[in-house]
C-alpha cells in the first residue's frame, strides 16, 4: 500500500494561507499563523498537491512511499 | 527627554542621511515606538524582525484595508475591496488565487527564457561599450517582463516605466511641479493607461496573466476597476526588483568578491536571497490596528497606524549573524524582503527568477566590474536602491565565455 507523508516546514511557511484555502480541511494555521497538516490531509491528495505547487515558499512536502 | 529622532518618513533621510543608524538604535532601545511623520501625523514604528513578522501575519488585528503605504497616512485608501494589496481575507484569498496560479514557482519556470531575452537586451549596449549605468540599464526590465506577460504593446513600455518610477519614488523622479503633483500624475497616468488596455481586451482571452486578472472581479465577474487596480499593483510592485541585484553587485565590487562569486554557480540561490535581504527594495508597509493590542510589550490602541520597516527587520542582529556583512552563502536566510502572511509578495517567485537571470547573464559575460563613482541612494521612504550606478566592465572574450 502507498503511504503519503505530508509535512510543512514551519521555518519556511509565511502564513499565506494558500494551502488552507486550496486544500480545505487538510491544513490549518497554528497560533503563530504557520501551517500544519491535519489528520485528514491524506484524504484529499489532489488538493494537497495543488497546495504543494502553489505554496509561495515551497514549504509543503508530499512524499510517497511503498 | 530623549533627543528627537530623525524622521523615518522623510524621503531625504534615505538620500542624504542614514536610516540604518536610526533603525539600529530603535531596535535596541525602542523597537515599537510612536514616531512623528513630517511633524503633523504620527504612527507606531515597528523595527524588530519578530514584531514585523507578527504584524504582517496577523491580518485580523493589523488590517491592510486602510492603505499599505505611508503616503496614505491620515487618509483612507480608495481602492480597498478592488485592489489585492488593500483587501483582507476572506475576499482577498479568492481574488488572489487566479494570479497566484499564474505566478507560482512552477508556472514562472516557463518564463525563464523570455526573461533571459529581456535581460540580454537590457545589458547588450553596456557590454558593447564596456561601461554602463547599471541601475538605468535595468530600470526598464520590470515593465518589459510584466508587459510581455500581460500583453502590453512594446512601444508603451518606456512610458509605463516612467510612470511606475514616478509612482514608487515621487521625490526622486520628480516633475517640475513637485512630488505631490508627480504622484498624482503617475497614479492617474497608470490608471488611465490600464483602463484603455483593459477596455481593448474585453472579449478576448489574451495572455495567461491577463486572463487571471480578468478572473479577479467580484465573484468571478470581470470588473474593469479590479483589473485596472491590480495591473497597477503588479507594475508598481514589480518596479523595485532590479535594486536587489544592483545593490548586491555594488557590495560585491566594493568587497572585491565579484570574480569569486562569478565562478560559484552553486551559490546562485543563496546569493539571490542575500541580495533581497541586503537591498530590502520595498522598505515599509502600513497597517491599522483593528483592536487594542500589545506588540513587543507596548500597548497599541485600536485604529492606530502601524508601519513595519522591512529594511530594519532584515538587519536584526537577533536573527542574522553579522547582519552588516553581505554573505552570499548565508543559510538560513529568513529575510522579510517579500513580507509575510496573507499579503506576502505575489511576485516573489518571478522576482527570484529575474534576479537570478541577471546574475547568470552578468557572470557569463563580464569578467570583472569596477565602480566609476560612489552611487547615491534614492530619495524615498518606500523604495530602497540607487538611481545611477556607473560601472566599467571587463567583458569576457568569446572564448572565455564558453569556459564559464
Ligand atoms: C524584489 C522585488 C520585490 C519585492 C522586494 C517585493 C516586495 C513585496 C512585499 C514586501 C509585499 C507585501 C506587501 C504588504 O504586506 O502589504 C508585496 C506584495 C505584492 N507584490 Fe511584490 N515585491 C517584489 C516584486 C514583485 C513583482 C515582480 C510583482 C509582480 C509580478 C509583485 C507584485 C506584488 C503584489 C500584487 C503584491 C500584493 C499581494 C497581496 O496583497 O496579496 N511584486 N511585494
Ligand atoms: S501555502 Fe505555504 S506559506 Fe502559505 S500557509 Fe501554506 S505552507 Fe505556509
What is the distance between the alpha carbons of residues B327 and A40, in angstroms, rounded to a whole number?
A: 41
Q: Which of A17, A33, A53 sits opposite B93 (nearest CB)?
A: A17
Mean per-residue pLDDT for B46-50?
Answer: 98
Tell how far the Cα of B359 is from the centroid of ligand 2, in angstroms.
Answer: 28
Contacts 24+ apart (CB under 8 A), B207-212: B207/B149, B207/B150, B207/B151, B208/B102, B208/B107, B208/B149, B209/B99, B209/B102, B209/B103, B209/B146, B209/B149, B209/B150, B209/B151, B209/B234, B210/B150, B210/B151, B211/B98, B212/B98, B212/B99, B212/B101, B212/B102
- Count of domains forming chain B: 1
In contact, B160 and B143? CB cutoff 8 Å: yes
**pLDDT surpassing 80 at residue B174:** yes
B367 compared with A66, residue with greater pLDDT? B367
pLDDT of residue B1: 43
pLDDT of residue B153: 93
Mean per-residue pLDDT for B352-364?
Answer: 98
Q: Which residues of A touch B346 (CB under 8 A)?
A: 56
In contact, A42 and A6? CB cutoff 8 Å: yes
What are the two backbone dihedrals, phi and then psi, of residue B295, each rounded to the nearest 5 degrees? -130, 120
What is the distance between the alpha carbons of residues B91 and A21, in angstroms, rounded to a whole number?
A: 12
Residue B2 lies in a domain: no
B155-159, B189-193, B301-305, B398-402: lowest mean pLDDT where?
B398-402
Kindly indicate whether the ipTM for this predicted assembly is greater than 0.85, answering yes or no: no
Name the residue in chain A with its Cα closest to that of B53. Answer: A14
Residue B65 lies in a domain: yes
What CATH number should be reported for the domain whose range is A3-65?
3.30.70.20
Q: Name the pLDDT band for A66 (thresholds 50, 70, 90).
A: low
Q: A16 and B106 in contact by Cβ < 8 A? A: no
What is the distance between the alpha carbons of residues B56 and B63, in angstroms, rounded to a whole number?
A: 9
B280 compared with B192, residue with greater pLDDT? B280
Q: B341 and A33 in contact by Cβ < 8 A? A: yes
A35-49, B35-49, B88-102: lowest mean pLDDT where?
B88-102
Q: Name the pLDDT band for B402 (thresholds 50, 70, 90).
A: very low
B402 compared with B330, residue with greater pLDDT? B330
Q: Which of B272, B15, B13 is nearest to B23 (CA)?
A: B13
Question: What pLDDT, in 10s, does the model give residues B106-140?
Answer: 999 999 999 999 999 999 999 999 999 999 999 99
Question: What pLDDT, in 10s, does the model give residues A3-34?
Answer: 789 999 999 999 998 999 889 899 999 999 99
Q: Which domain holds residue B225?
A: 11-403
B236 compared with B248, residue with greater pLDDT? B248
On average, the pLDDT of chain B sits at: 91
What is the distance between the alpha carbons of residues B308 and B57, in angstroms, rounded to a whole number?
A: 12
Mean per-residue pLDDT for B151-175?
Answer: 94
Which residue of A9, A10, A12, A16 is the best one to mutate when testing the B interface, meaning the one whose CB has the most B CBs within 10 A?
A16
The pairing of strands B284-289 and B305-309 is antiparallel
pLDDT of residue B321: 97
Question: If you count residue pairs, one on A and one on B, with CB atoms under 8 Å apart, how many are there?
Answer: 48
Mean per-residue pLDDT for B83-100?
Answer: 86
Residues 6 or more apart whose Cβ sits within 8 Å of residue B74: B40, B41
Q: Name the pLDDT band for B222 (thresholds 50, 70, 90).
A: low
Residue B289 lies in a domain: yes
Q: Which of B58, B342, B349 sits opposite A16 (nearest CB)?
A: B342
% of chain B surpassing 70 pLDDT: 94
Mean per-residue pLDDT for B35-49?
Answer: 92
Residues 6 or more apart whose Cβ sits within 8 Å of residue B81: B65, B87, B91
pLDDT of residue B233: 85
In contact, B381 and B134? CB cutoff 8 Å: no
* Whole-prediction pTM: 0.93
What is the distance between the alpha carbons of residues B149 and B378, in angstroms, rounded to a whole number?
A: 28
What are the two backbone dihedrals, phi and then psi, of residue B353, each rounded to the nearest 5 degrees? -65, -40
**pLDDT surpassing 90 at residue A60:** yes
pLDDT of residue B297: 96
> Is A56 near chain B, with CB under 8 Å?
yes
Q: Name the pLDDT band for B206 (thresholds 50, 70, 90).
A: confident
CATH number of the domain that B153 lies in?
1.10.630.10
A55-64, B107-116, B330-339, B345-354: lowest mean pLDDT where?
A55-64
Mean per-residue pLDDT for B207-215?
Answer: 82
Angle at B55 between CA B93 and CA B50, to 5 degrees: 125
**pLDDT surpassing 70 at residue B170:** yes
What are the two backbone dihedrals, phi and then psi, of residue B370, each rounded to the nearest 5 degrees? -125, 150
> Is A53 near chain B, with CB under 8 Å?
yes
DSSP secondary-structure letter at B284? E
**pLDDT surpassing 60 at residue B62:** yes
Question: What pLDDT, in 10s, does the model give residues B281-338?
Answer: 999 999 999 999 999 999 999 999 999 999 999 999 999 999 999 999 999 999 999 9
- Closest C-alpha to ligand 1, atom 19: B345
Greatest alpha-carbon pair distance for chain B in Å reads: 66
**pLDDT surpassing 90 at residue B9:** yes
Q: Which residues of A touch B105 (CB under 8 A)?
A: 53, 56, 58
Measured between alpha carbons, how far apart are the two ends of chain A, in Å?
6
- Domain segments of chain A as ranges: 3-65
**pLDDT surpassing 80 at residue B83:** yes
Q: Which of B363, B387, B360 is nearest to B373 (CA)?
A: B387
How would you class A2 by CB atoms within 10 Å of its CB: exposed for 0-12, middle for 13-18, buried for 19 or more? exposed
Q: Which residues of A touch B96 (CB under 8 A)?
A: 18
Amino acid at each position: 500500500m502507498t503511504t503519503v507523508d505530508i509535512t510543512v516546514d514551519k521555518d519556511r511557511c509565511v502564513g499565506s494561507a494558500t494551502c488552507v484555502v486550496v486544500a480545505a480541511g487538510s491544513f490549518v494555521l497554528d497560533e503563530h499563523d504557520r501551517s500544519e497538516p491535519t489528520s485528514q490531509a491524506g484524504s484529499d491528495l489532489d488538493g494537497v498537491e495543488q497546495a504543494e505547487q502553489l505554496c509561495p515558499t515551497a514549504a509543503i512536502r508530499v512524499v510517497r512511499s511503498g | 527627554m530623549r533627543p528627537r529622532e530623525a524622521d523615518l518618513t522623510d524621503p531625504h533621510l534615505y538620500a542624504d542621511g542614514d536610516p540604518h543608524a536610526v533603525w539600529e538604535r530603535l531596535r535596541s532601545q525602542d523597537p515599537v515606538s510612536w514616531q512623528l511623520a513630517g511633524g503633523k501625523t504620527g504612527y507606531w514604528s515597528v523595527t524588530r524582525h519578530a514584531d514585523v513578522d507578527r504584524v504582517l501575519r496577523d491580518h485580523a488585528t493589523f488590517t491592510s484595508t486602510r492603505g499599505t503605504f505611508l503616503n496614505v497616512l491620515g487618509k483612507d485608501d480608495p481602492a480597498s475591496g478592488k485592489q489585492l494589496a488593500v483587501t483582507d481575507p476572506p475576499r482577498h484569498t479568492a481574488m488572489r488565487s487566479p494570479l497566484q496560479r499564474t505566478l507560482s514557482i512552477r508556472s514562472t519556470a516557463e518564463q525563464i527564457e523570455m526573461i533571459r531575452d529581456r535581460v540580454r537586451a537590457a545589458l547588450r549596449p553596456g557590454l558593447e561599450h564596456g561601461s554602463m549605468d547599471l541601475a538605468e540599464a535595468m530600470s526598464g526590465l520590470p515593465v518589459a517582463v510584466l508587459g510581455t506577460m500581460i500583453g502590453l504593446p512594446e512601444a508603451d513600455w518606456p512610458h509605463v516605466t516612467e510612470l511606475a518610477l514616478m509612482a514608487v519614488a515621487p521625490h526622486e523622479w520628480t516633475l517640475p511641479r513637485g512630488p505631490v503633483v508627480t504622484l498624482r500624475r503617475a497614479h492617474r497616468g497608470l490608471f488611465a493607461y490600464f483602463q484603455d488596455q483593459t477596455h481593448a481586451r474585453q472579449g478576448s482571452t489574451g495572455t495567461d496573466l491577463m486572463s487571471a486578472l480578468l478572473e479577479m472581479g467580484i465573484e468571478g465577474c470581470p470588473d474593469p476597476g479590479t483589473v485596472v487596480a491590480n495591473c497597477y499593483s503588479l507594475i508598481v510592485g514589480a518596479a523595485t526588483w532590479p535594486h536587489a541585484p544592483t545593490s548586491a553587485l555594488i557590495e560585491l565590487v566594493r568587497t572585491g568578491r565579484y570574480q569569486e562569486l562569478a565562478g560559484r554557480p552553486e551559490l546562485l540561490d543563496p546569493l539571490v536571497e542575500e541580495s533581497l535581504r541586503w537591498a530590502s527594495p520595498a522598505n515599509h508597509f502600513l497597517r491599522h490596528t483593528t483592536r487594542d493590542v500589545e506588540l513587543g510589550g507596548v500597548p497599541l490602541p485600536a485604529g492606530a497606524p502601524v508601519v513595519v520597516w522591512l529594511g530594519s527587520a532584515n538587519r536584526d542582529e537577533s536573527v542574522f549573524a553579522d547582519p552588516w556583512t553581505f554573505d552570499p552563502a548565508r543559510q538560513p536566510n529568513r529575510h522579510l524582503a517579500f513580507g509575510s502572511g496573507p499579503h506576502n509578495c505575489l511576485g516573489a517567485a518571478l522576482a527570484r527568477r529575474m534576479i537570478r537571470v541577471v546574475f547568470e547573464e552578468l557572470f557569463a559575460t563580464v569578467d570583472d566590474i569596477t565602480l566609476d563613482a560612489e552611487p547615491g541612494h534614492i530619495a524615498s521612504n518606500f523604495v530602497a536602491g540607487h538611481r545611477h550606478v556607473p560601472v566599467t566592465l571587463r567583458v569576457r572574450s568569446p572564448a572565455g565565455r564558453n569556459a564559464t
